[in-house]
Chain A
Amino acid sequence: MNPFNFEKCGLTRRTLLGGAALGGATILSAPAWAGMVDLPLYGGGGERETTTSFPQKGEMILQRTRPPLLETPWETFDKGVFTPNDQFYVRWHWAGIPDSVNVDTFRLKVHGNVQQELSLSLSELIQKLPKIELAAVNQCSGNSRGFFNPRVPGAQWANGAMGNAKWTGVRLRDLLDSAGVKAGSVQVRFAGLEKPVIDGGPHFMKSLSIDHARDDDVIVAYAMNGEALPFLNGFPLRLIVPGWYATYWVKMLADIEVLDKPDDNFWTKKAYLIPDTPGANIKPGEKDVKMVPINRMVPRSFFTNLVSGAHIKASASNEVRGIAFGGDCGVAKVETSIDGGGNWQVAQLGPDEGKFGFRRWSTAITPSKVGDGVSVKVRCTNTNGEVQSDTPNWNPSGFMRNVIEVIDLVAA
């Protein structure tokens, strides 16, 4: 008997990621149970309920109810390069999420090593500072953790702990300049309204270097895809750090503190660390590795209209498409290979909606006869020349996965 009671869900067989295959491909297997998905995690164990019981959210994959960990169903990514707000993934650390935010009394504080502390209302922030709009991918450091081999503890996500949105806000630099950053400042620390539920637990806070904080692209957003941020994605304000993992994108941002010495709070100094090695890659069990805070993202590309096992047409052209992003810069090219990585064909790219966002790619595949198996690989090279690797990385926290993705199709 499984003491964790999954059998109550009536799962009898593995289903495709997120349910049905899309885009005209044959549907091999429908969800075994309405409201369940079976994420194809390494070694299994990917059965999850889906849920519609979270405010402002449509159907999401339930990884944890409290505090919420909600994964975006994979088929969402085939619909467009912008992830709809109501299916944008959700990740909180502490359950002390306020149950309401009053937009008239809410204040954003800027304080610490500054000439003049600020306490800004939302309307001051929105109306008095120049408006910036940019597209950027927000990706959890541990996105795809469930594919690690060997598996590692943490939220067992498939690939859906990411999303791309158009963010509207004001430059962090403009806020900092309004307060007047004093000489000797080294970092800027961010905290939201999220509170530990046990006294003495570490408040969730993250820091950026002062130079990074003054970057053109770092903004404090009040809108996401043209609407107020969903509550669970950080209403009313969220820090947007394009090109960097989502741990820095503090939600319900309420406190900006300029520091004159390096931040030593738990979440900055001890959590979210990666091995200081290429690709954050080490051997399982490797000891005495220098660890550094996770930082910029690396390029990735995915298939969105087909999943492994899908049937395509023999002697006909089949569209294979997906999304890619460059990480901390744009997408230079996306390539596919149908011979295991020997030869690569350049895929067509969709419109560039901003270098930090998702980019649509597509290609055509024509299997010669019925029964042919076609294994397709896809890889992205970013504008810095960095390309995805054919070997998966491994580290004990399950961070920064960006191995080349493969799907196995069958000509029918």
Chain B
Amino acid sequence: MQRFAQSLTILCAVTLLTGTADAKDAFDLKSESFDLPTGDRTFIGAGADPVNNNCLTCHSAEMVMVQPKLSKANWEGIVKKMINVYKAPVPDEDVGPIIEYLSNHPTAGR
């Protein structure tokens, strides 16, 4: 539902953007450029390879490492979401081992 008159809207367009600049309102923005840290922690222990190969492209490992203890079904859901929703390119043969690794390793919040 349109709650306002079209003609009014167009009138506003004119007044708003042609309004004179008020010098005291000037706020200076400066161009910025930054380097962000990348995070180099890797998963370790038996079976870590497929996790390192597939799970570090989009995000560093820390947040995955501190997930609470989750069921295998939970981890399967997460890995499938990475693949289906976020388009993580994970080879079929790695999916099972990744889920296995994540559900068998003690994470946080035991």
> In the complex, what distance in Å separates the CA atom of A126 from the CA atom of B29?
10
The interface stretch among A16-24, A36-44, A239-247, A315-323 is A36-44
Establish whether residues A45 and B70, one from each chain, have CB atoms under 8 Å apart when the complex forms. Answer: no
Establish whether residues B106 and A2, one from each chain, have CB atoms under 8 Å apart when the complex forms. Answer: yes
Name A42's closest neighbour in chain B (CB-CB): B109
What secondary structure prevails in chain A residues at the interface with B? loop
Name A68's closest neighbour in chain B (CB-CB): B36
Per-position contact with A for B19-63: 1 when CB-CB < 8 Å, else 0? 101100111011111111111010111001000000001111011
The interface stretch among A195-203, A326-334, A343-351 is A195-203
Name B14's closest neighbour in chain A (CB-CB): A178
Per-position contact with B for A104-121: 1 when CB-CB < 8 Å, else 0? 100000000001101000
Residues of B within 8 A of A94 (CB): 58
Per-position contact with B for A229-248: 1 when CB-CB < 8 Å, else 0? 00100011000000000000
Establish whether residues A153 and B74, one from each chain, have CB atoms under 8 Å apart when the complex forms. Answer: yes
Establish whether residues A101 and B31, one from each chain, have CB atoms under 8 Å apart when the complex forms. Answer: yes
Candidates A55, A65, A214; contact of B39 at CB < 8 Å: A65
What is the interface residue range for chain B against chain A? 35 or more
Residues of B within 8 A of A69 (CB): 63
Residues of A within 8 A of B63 (CB): 63-64, 69, 155-156
With contacts A64-B60, A68-B36, A156-B66 known, is A44 near B45, CB below 8 A? no
Establish whether residues B17 and A124, one from each chain, have CB atoms under 8 Å apart when the complex forms. Answer: yes
Residues of B within 8 A of A184 (CB): 2
> In the complex, what distance in Å separates the CA atom of A201 from the CA atom of B12?
38
The interface stretch among A72-80, A127-135, A386-394, A401-409 is A127-135
Residues of A within 8 A of B59 (CB): 64, 66-67, 95
Candidates B26, B44, B88; contact of A5 at CB < 8 Å: B44
A177 CB–B CB distance under 8 Å = yes
Establish whether residues B65 and A4, one from each chain, have CB atoms under 8 Å apart when the complex forms. Answer: yes
A363 CB–B CB distance under 8 Å = no
With contacts A54-B36, A115-B10 known, is A126 near B26, CB below 8 A? yes
Establish whether residues A183 and B105, one from each chain, have CB atoms under 8 Å apart when the complex forms. Answer: no
Give the Cβ gap from A121 to chain B, nearest Cβ, in Å.
10
> In the complex, what distance in Å separates the CA atom of A55 from the CA atom of B32?
10
Residues of B within 8 A of A41 (CB): 108-109
> In the complex, what distance in Å separates the CA atom of A200 from the CA atom of B88?
9
Establish whether residues B86 and A201, one from each chain, have CB atoms under 8 Å apart when the complex forms. Answer: yes
B96 CB–A CB distance under 8 Å = no
Lowest 3 CB-CB distances: which A-B pairs, in order?
A: A45-B108, A65-B39, A100-B33
